[in-house]
Structure 1
Amino acid sequence: MDSNRTRRVSAAALAAAVALGVTACGSSSSGSSAEGAGGVVTISVNGLPPATQTVDRRNFEDDVKTFEAAHPNIKIDAHEGLMDPKTFAAKLAGGQLEDVFYVYFTDPAGLIQRRQAADISPYVKDVPALADVKPELLDVFEDKGGKLYGLPTGNYSMGLVYNRALFTKAGLDPDKPPTTWDEVRTAAQKITALGDGVTGYADFSKNNQGGWHLSSWLYSLGGDVATQDGSTWKAAFNSEAGHKALQYLHDMRWTDNTMGSRQLLEIPDVQKMMGSGKLGMYLAGPDNIPTIVKQFERKYDEFGLAAMPGTGTLGGGDGFMFNPKDTPAKIKAGLAWVQWKYLNPDREEEITKKSAVSDDIPIGLPQPDLFNGKGAETIKAAHAKYVNVPQKNYQPFVDRSADVKVKVEPPNAQQLYTVLDGVMQAVLTNKDANIDQLLADAEKKANTILASVK
């Protein structure tokens, strides 16, 4: 499950490949003549912001015009909306699915398994800059044989958002936030002791968000949600890590009283608590900070960002895949569009400079972070010229990023999160909840869900 995504930035120069791909679109003997008069290829893409988002929509439309001017053999038919798993199959069967469509990281595995996305491997093998894209992000779009079905365009990983002022008042060093759950628990006790309605730590437990966060807890403690043995997936959360995570939550809620009496919270509830200045810490990605600042008229200086306590964290993101009915010419044209708009570090300074005109767009957050090598350096240099957020506040997140392994969401994630919501809710609302029984019952339900995964 992704939180609200910030503006996608990215990197490493697929620019050379763009030119290669465009040339191929115009000269391919495999279907290009049938695409349109004069060899022009028209591709439908989604991701167009709605008319209510006036600035974002105008920027998108400007990008289309600029891209088409630079690529006269390609026309973009932009559609509003993103990929909806509930309507995807019907749109594909009815011929209404876009040629290039947006997905979350939870989508590709199932789409590849059901052959509902095109294999783009033959069209990117000559793109040397793909080596700069982080391998673990490309893995999301690959099948077991290494064939590639899409490209990542955004990513995030869960960390710990905290109120720096409350840390200082509680005698904690805001530049040295917790790195273990024991330290989180101690910090929450000191923050709650400030009184005046202050809550040390809050967590989600509703609308699949509890299962989403419990997965992060499991990863941080060395556990897993599900594991694969050959072609079979099995639930893995009924484990030492699962028990430990729930015991921490139980003790913080009932023994320490550092999570407040109000439970069954979700994203807006906790963001409001943080925006009110009455919450010490909660799990979130970097993009939560600008949301709190804008919605509750706070300042960026008030908030810090730490890496996930422990040794692992949950990550997610988004990208684009291609209609399995696409011709080679459409795939090549689609790759040219995705590369130019979303994966083009050479445009980053231009984009950042344009964004810097508005105070509403944060520049310098630690994510998205898609690339290694030259692409990453190009983006870093572009942001350094226009940074408008206190990057030192996020340094604890950056410093420990190499020590915290990022793991993506499990298959059938949303269904599993529904099951784990119930576990989270029981522990946070029932002091006498039986953790062993909760995990055992949830394991049976999860294995039924995972039985359908190939």
Structure 2
Amino acid sequence: MVTITVNGMPPKTQPVDRKYFEEDVKTFEKEHPKIRIDAREGQMDPKTFSAKLAGGQLEDVFYVYFTDPAGLIQRRQGADIGAYVKDMPYYDQIKADYLKVFTGPDGRLYGLPNGQYSLGLVYNRALFTKAGLDPDRPPATWDEVRAAARKIAALAEGTVGYADYSKNNQGGWHFTAWVYSMGGDIAVKEQGRWKAAFDSVAGRRAVRMLQDMRWTDNTMGTRQLLQIEDVQKMMGAGKLGMYMAGPDNIPTIVKQFERKYEDYGIAAMPNGNATLGGGNGFMFNPKASPEKIKAGIEWVQWKYLNPERTEFEDERASGNDVPIGLPLDRLFTGAAAERQDTAHRKYANVPQDNYKPFAEGNARLEQKVEPPNAQQVYTVLDGVMQAVLTKKAVDVDQVLADAAKKVDGILATVK
């Protein structure tokens, strides 16, 4: 008998999710009589992580965001699990992009993904139709986004073709996605050190496209310094054609503003290069015994990476007003992905055809994660977005050069 401590249990403020989690623990233990789960709330907190590890308080299996593994691996704060996943069910069908997040410079594996998101283009299908655009064929390039935004903005005064964020680090987050979509990077590692990389052809293309839509076309509206809640409100009011977001934004709009799922679609990130993706997963305590690591992998696979349970989970969720059929958490390829897709189609309560452009296009894009020290970098890049969207005569080259110097300083602290 082996007992493993795991975190990631939903808090009591999420009673339905907590109930499902506790049910799953009981079922897992019944099916694995030699393993006991000691489940705890919470996730990996960078402020307390090292102290918990040194003091023997760190869980055997701990929840991380995709921005965490690189630093943890470098500091030897995660266990090498490569020897234990060879026989793991469906391991060979997990997308390589997500396993790469947990792979160290030594080529060894230090964790497993359990959820992911990718940014795309959420759009109002009704406004597309009114503007003479085909809602089943959304823009596939930024030039097409620009052209569609002009048609939508021309429908009526106060209607915005395309909107974007520019404060509270959300502008920097989206600028990162813009640069990725143009084929560039925010930061690169050269000779063991990180440096800013967005003062580039891709960075200038992103800034100038935003400039053109904001000031030449006047399709982004006069109100700026927006964040996610502002843009969702515009979309929920039927006054916005498009904005950059993940599929999870759609149920938020539908529920908060009493809209219909049929009103919205989502397309893949324009230009066909790459999209900003993020997510989460689990790593393993470097002090855990081989038996605990093996048991932890069995738990993570059974609970989070198990296409065989998808139909059960969809059926269970279908009675609780949970949207089923959104293109979320597509961690698998091949037969595993098809098995999940079949279950989602069976229990779908949202219009899956509206999301085909995203699902099909996204599968062809490189999924790039956030840069190191992402939130500090985003604070600087907020300034880039704000300058472009609020100052008509801004010097693009100077704005990018100044921001790059600041980001170089932030990246110099990355270890």
Contact 1:222 1:241 in 2 (8 A): yes
Partner of 1:382: 343
Aligned length: 414
CA separation in 1, counterparts of 2:87 and 2:358?
Answer: 35
Verify: 1:442 aligned to 2:403, yes or no: yes
TM-score by length of 2: 0.96
1:215-254 → structure 2 map (5 Å cutoff): 215-254=176-215
Other structure's SS at 1:85 match: coil
Q: Point out the more displaced range, 397-406 or 276-285.
A: 397-406
TM-score by length of 1: 0.88
Verify: 1:342 aligned to 2:304, yes or no: yes
Contact 2:325 2:349 in 1 (8 A): yes
What is the deviation of 1:402? 4.2
String of CA shifts for 1:22-66, please: whole Å, max 9, x gaps.
Answer: xxxxxxxxxxxxxxxxxx322221111121211111111111111
Q: Point out the more displaced range, 399-408 or 263-272.
A: 399-408
Q: 2:313 aligns with which of 333, 351, 370?
A: 351
What is the deviation of 1:414? 2.1
Other structure's SS at 2:319 match: coil
CA separation in 1, counterparts of 2:138 and 2:252?
Answer: 21
Verify: 1:430 aligned to 2:391, yes or no: yes
2:13 aligned partner, one-letter code: T
What is the deviation of 1:319? 0.5
String of CA shifts for 1:227-253, please: whole Å, max 9, x gaps.
Answer: 223423221100111011111112222
2:260 aligned partner, one-letter code: K
1:28-39 → structure 2 map (5 Å cutoff): none
Verify: 1:368 aligned to 2:336, yes or no: no
Structure 1 unaligned regions, length at least 5 = 1-39
Contact 1:109 1:140 in 2 (8 A): yes
Verify: 1:144 aligned to 2:144, yes or no: no
What is the deviation of 1:333? 1.5
Verify: 1:159 aligned to 2:120, yes or no: yes
1:419 aligned partner, one-letter code: V
Q: 1:65 aligns with which of 12, 22, 26?
A: 26
Verify: 1:268 aligned to 2:226, yes or no: no
1:354 aligned partner, one-letter code: R
Partner of 1:82: 43
1:88-103 → structure 2 map (5 Å cutoff): 88-103=49-64
Q: 1:319 aligns with which of 258, 281, 291?
A: 281
What is the deviation of 1:87? 2.8
Partner of 1:333: 295
Contact 2:88 2:301 in 1 (8 A): no
Contact 1:310 1:404 in 2 (8 A): no
2:194 aligned partner, one-letter code: W
Other structure's SS at 2:48 match: helix
Structure 2 unaligned regions, length at least 5 = none
Distance 1:207 1:231, change over 3 A: same
String of CA shifts for 1:222-277, please: whole Å, max 9, x gaps.
Answer: 11111223423221100111011111112222222221222222222211211121
Q: 2:271 aligns with which of 289, 304, 310?
A: 310
CA separation in 2, counterparts of 1:90 and 1:425?
Answer: 39
CA separation in 1, counterparts of 2:237 and 2:54?
Answer: 48
What is the deviation of 1:432? 2.2
CA separation in 2, counterparts of 1:230 and 1:314?
Answer: 25
Q: Point out the more displaced range, 140-149 or 223-232.
A: 223-232
Other structure's SS at 1:102 match: strand
| Percent identical | 69
CA separation in 1, counterparts of 2:387 and 2:49?
Answer: 34
What is the deviation of 1:196? 4.3
What is the deviation of 1:399? 3.0
Other structure's SS at 1:356 match: helix
Distance 1:399 1:344, change over 3 A: closer
Contact 1:211 1:416 in 2 (8 A): yes
Partner of 2:93: 132
String of CA shifts for 1:141-183, please: whole Å, max 9, x gaps.
Answer: 0101211110011112111000001111111111111111111
String of CA shifts for 1:85-133, please: whole Å, max 9, x gaps.
Answer: 2332333233332221111111111111111111112222333631111
Other structure's SS at 2:397 match: helix
CA separation in 1, counterparts of 2:136 and 2:90?
Answer: 36
Partner of 1:184: 145
Partner of 2:168: 207
Contact 2:89 2:301 in 1 (8 A): no
Runs of 4+ in 1 over 6 A off after TM superposition: none
CA separation in 2, counterparts of 1:88 and 1:267?
Answer: 30
